[in-house]
Amino acid sequence: MKRLAVYCGSATPADPVYIECARHVGRTLAERGIGVVYGGGRLGLMGAVADAALEAGGEVIGVIPEALVNAEVAHRGLTSLETVATMHERKARFTELSDGFVTIPGGTGTMDELWEAMSWSQLGYHSDPVGLLNVAGYYDHLIAFVDQMAATGFLRPQHRDILIVEDDLSRLLGKMAAYEPHTPIFRMSREEL
């Protein structure tokens, strides 16, 4: 994995565990020689990931919609900052630039990015690992919901393991590095569907 897209919030929650997590992710990826691709912002967890990776000598590529650049939230000290027209273009660019996806805590934008990475993997638009770092139990209910989708039959058994979940970053990165792509829907027979 040469680069990972990091999905996270632009907010700064009161509990410092979340900023500490973001800094740990940025620093660890840089120390392992893995570039960071992220939303290009300077605020919240996004800014903490970028700053920590840069401080550790890592490559950080930001991809930000023009409207957010104009709102003065763009991080101007990155290795590279790409401006795109729409959020859809931003997510497509994340996929083009990255060898996998790591989601840490965030809000609705983070969820949008995570669900799209999972959906595109399930369909076969990419075959890269999709990781979820469950910091301080933040994603416990989301993990239970994914299990419910599988138990109900809305998530095929062969696609349940698209989402790689860990509460430890080193273990998560190890599982992501060992990820074996599943059979995407585009390659499944009618009987398998």
Which domain range does residue 172 map to? 3-187
Q: Which amino acid is at 165?
A: V
Check residue 193 and give its pLDDT: 63
Domain count, the chain: 1
In a domain, 128, yes or no: yes
Pairing of β 80-84 and β 3-7: unpaired
In a domain, 193, yes or no: no
Alpha-carbon torsion, ordered 89, 53, 16, 114, to 10 deg: 30
In a domain, 174, yes or no: yes
Look up the pTM and report it: 0.94
Are 132 and 143 in contact by the 8 Å Cβ rule? The answer is: yes
Q: What is the CATH number of the domain that holds 86?
A: 3.40.50.450
pLDDT tens digit sequence for 108-145: 999 999 999 999 999 999 999 999 999 999 999 999 99
Buried-exposed string 112-148: b where 16+ CB fall within 10 A, e elsewhere:
ebbebbbebbbeeebebbbbbbbbeebbeebeeebee
